[in-house]
Amino acid sequence: MVLGIDMPKFVIPMFIVEAVLLVLFTVPPKRLKQDFISIPMLVLDVVNSFTDVISYIRLFAVGMSGAAIAEAFNDMLSPLFGSAVGIAGAAFLLLFVHGLNIALAVMGVAVHAVRLNTLEFYRNALRSVVPVQARS
């Protein structure tokens, strides 16, 4: 049950058909006996794809939080625009807090990208590497 709505009856058979199609398209039927180890690895591939989606959702959330922080500061400092001194003070504070917000957003995305690259590096480092050979 999601949001008070029961799951439709066709969902379970749809998942079964999806799993069968995934196996058939991952390993060609001719090589099913030779590459049978690919079928259990399919579960790990599905989990890996799910974690990639969650990772991109996290990037979206970082962007949305930056927008929410900017809106909150704008709302907090907008009452200061009543006088010349208030305008000068609000402008200075807005420059500072928006600059800090942009810096934090850039750091959040950069740290996330470094983390993903590190994971991909170590994931691929476990595979055998074939050196590139010079052409003769």
Residue pair 98/73 in contact (Cβ under 8 Å)? The answer is yes
Per residue, what are the HEC states of 50-109?
Answer: HHHHHHHHHHHHHHHHHHHHHHHHHHHHHHHHHCHHHHHHHHHHHHHHHHHHHHHHHHHH
Is it the case that residue 57 has pLDDT exceeding 80? Answer: yes
In a domain, 110, yes or no: yes
In a domain, 92, yes or no: yes
How many domains does the structure of the chain reveal? 1
Segments forming the whole domain that contains residue 80: 11-125
In a domain, 35, yes or no: yes
pLDDT in tens, 88-127: 998 999 999 999 999 988 888 788 778 777 777 676 666 6
Residue pair 39/27 in contact (Cβ under 8 Å)? The answer is yes
In a domain, 135, yes or no: no
Is it the case that residue 129 has pLDDT exceeding 60? Answer: no
Q: What is the pLDDT of residue 136?
A: 61
Tokens of 126: 């476990």
In a domain, 67, yes or no: yes
In a domain, 38, yes or no: yes
In a domain, 58, yes or no: yes
Tokens of 128: 């055998």
pLDDT in tens, 67-81: 999 999 999 988 888
pLDDT in tens, 12-54: 898 888 877 877 777 777 776 777 776 677 777 777 777 877 8
